[in-house]
A and B are shown apart, each in its own frame.
Chain A
Amino acid sequence: ETGVTQSPTHLIKTRGQQVTLRCSSQSGHNTVSWYQQALGQGPQFIFQYYREEENGRGNFPPRFSGLQFPNYSSELNVNALELDDSALYLCASSMGRGQGYEQYFGPGTRLTVT
């Protein structure tokens, strides 16, 4: 088990609603990356935060936004939920900027949009 925690573990929302997912990074890590993983597929990179600033973004629309706090924990916000947003959302912390470092993943939040 890594020291990365995520909350909640499961969530059910209705189309059009907004959701906030939370991640606490492993001690000593200053970088958090968020991923979306649909069933049967690999994780897709959403964005990364390094020392409270966005440090890279994947091919996701602006309704996916994030935040990193001074203690390096992070939030992922998704507005105007769509059915296709149903997935496992993973956060991963690491020791440096970029992703040339080992990523420590949390257990994920399973989001279901109905």
Chain B
Amino acid sequence: SQKIEQNSEALNIQEGKTATLTCNYTNYSPAYLQWYRQDPGRGPVFLLLIRENEKEKRKERLKVTFDTTLKQSLFHITASQPADSATYLCAPLNNNAGNMLTFGGGTRLMVKP
């Protein structure tokens, strides 16, 4: 069956370090993969979209990679700040479900000052 796996345990890092979050998917080949940020009690906020023919995408301190062979996306935040503390969700486009997004369970990032 199709599955998306994100680290369910919180990731704790020190301010200024690089945070790396992992998203692994199985049993489908998404044409796109999106990353969202979600703060407690609020709706997700779009961060980045990466296509299957793109290896890497950057936006300010954010970088996303997409390895279709490993079926994995990595999300990096460089020079992390306490304000980056949130839950980060990956969402591959599920072409077996009418091209709809399927969200992972998210990884909670805590950046300590």
Secondary structure of the A contact surface, majority rule: loop
Chain A 41-76 residues near chain B, CB threshold 8 A: 41-45, 48, 55-58
Whether B100 is near chain A, meaning CB under 8 Å from some CB there, is yes
A28 → chain B closest CB, angstroms: 16
Residue among A4, A44, A98, A100 facing the most chain B CB atoms (10 A cut-off): A100
Q: How far is the CA of A55 from the CA of B98 in the complex (A)?
A: 8
**What 4 A-B pairs have minimum CB-CB distances, sorted nearest first?**
A105-B43, A42-B103, A56-B98, A98-B99
- 22 pairs of residues in contact across A and B, judged by CB atoms under 8 Å: A2-B43, A41-B106, A42-B4, A42-B89, A42-B91, A42-B103, A42-B106, A43-B44, A45-B100, A56-B100, A90-B43, A92-B43, A98-B98, A98-B99, A99-B99, A100-B32, A100-B93, A100-B99, A103-B34, A105-B36, A105-B44, A108-B41
Binding site for A on B (CB under 8 A): 4, 6, 31-32, 34, 36, 41-46, 49, 89, 91, 93, 97-106
With A42-B103, A55-B98 given, name 14 new contacts (CB 8 A).
A42-B6, A42-B91, A43-B44, A58-B97, A90-B43, A92-B44, A100-B31, A102-B49, A103-B36, A103-B44, A103-B101, A106-B43, A108-B42, A108-B43
